């Protein structure tokens, strides 16, 4: 019995360490074509819903992308936002990572970006950058789903003046058991229960 119980627990541990599932589409904005060393304001982005002021997609201009060639500024002609919704499992933990950079030669007051999860503020980021370098920093956040559909939103929150913080390489993942491993655990637990009932008799 002890050996059998240990085997079931080992299967459970295997499920807990199953690989993460990526949920974000077009997290580095590479699916939206922009010519090299140019920028354009787009009213639609692949995978994302875009606010009424659009989003400024840059291809290594006024800074360098963190991943690939493109990155985003959310203060286009004025403060704007992007969001993405996806199916979630209520109660499950979701892990978000993204890269933020304050615009070159500007103060934190114009560089703010707010991160919302289902309408609730998760994080406010705003930094000074009085250099000519793109200073990317990785932000990691974790949160729980409260329903079967969740929405992630990034919103410019600095001075609405056409100069804002940059966003790149957005990733959202959740760890789920592999179907085969989960089936093995359920089978093992069923056998354990059957064995215990027999011993009680």
User: DSSP states of 133-167 as a string?
Assistant: S---EEEEEEEE-SSSEEEEEEEE-S-SSS---EE
pLDDT, tens digit, 9 for 90 and up, residues 83-93:
999 999 999 99
Q: At residue 2, does pLDDT exceed 70? A: no
Can you give the length of the chain in residues?
A: 201
- % of the chain beyond a pLDDT of 90: 73
pLDDT band at 33 (very low <50, low <70, confident <90, very high): confident
Residue given tokens 């930094």 in the structure block? 127
Q: How many CB atoms lie within 10 A of CB 137?
A: 12
Q: What are phi and psi of 199, to 5 degrees?
A: -65, -35
Question: What was the pLDDT predicted at 11?
Answer: 44
User: How does residue 175 score in pLDDT terms, banded at 50, 70 and 90?
Assistant: confident
Q: Where are the beta strands (DSSP E) in the chain?
A: 20-22, 39-42, 49-50, 55-59, 70-73, 81-87, 93-101, 113-117, 120-125, 137-144, 149-156, 166-175
Q: Residue 55: count other Cβ atoms within 10 Å of its Cβ.
A: 26
Nearest to 55 by CA among 64, 66, 46: 46
- 72-128 pLDDT, tens digit per residue, is 999 999 999 999 999 999 999 999 999 999 999 999 999 999 999 999 999 999 999
Kindly state the average pLDDT of the residues 5-23: 56
Distance CA 201, CA 197 (A): 6
Asked if the model's pLDDT at residue 21 lies above 80, the reply is yes
pTM of the complete model? 0.79
SS3 61: coil
């Amino acid at each position: 019995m002890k050996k059998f119980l240990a085997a079931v627990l080992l299967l459970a541990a295997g499920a807990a360490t199953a690989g993460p599932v990526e949920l974000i589409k077009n997290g580095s904005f590479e699916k939206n074509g922009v010519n090299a060393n140019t920028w354009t304001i787009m009213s639609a982005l692949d995978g994302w819903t875009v606010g009424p002021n659009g989003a400024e997609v840059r291809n290594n201009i006024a800074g360098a992308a963190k991943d690939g060639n493109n990155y985003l500024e959310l203060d286009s002609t004025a403060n704007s936002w992007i969001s993405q919704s996806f199916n979630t499992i209520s109660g499950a933990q979701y892990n978000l990572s993204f890269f933020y950079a304050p615009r070159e030669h500007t103060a934190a007051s114009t560089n703010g970006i707010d991160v919302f999860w289902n309408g609730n503020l998760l994080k406010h980021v705003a930094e000074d950058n009085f250099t000519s370098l793109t200073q990317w920093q990785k932000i990691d956040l974790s949160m729980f789903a409260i329903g079967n559909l969740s929405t992630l939103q990034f919103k410019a929150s600095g001075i609405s003046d056409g100069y804002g913080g940059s966003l790149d390489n957005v990733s959202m993942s959740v760890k789920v058991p592999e179907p085969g491993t989960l089936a093995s655990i359920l089978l093992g637990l069923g056998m354990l229960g059957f064995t215990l009932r027999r011993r009680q008799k």
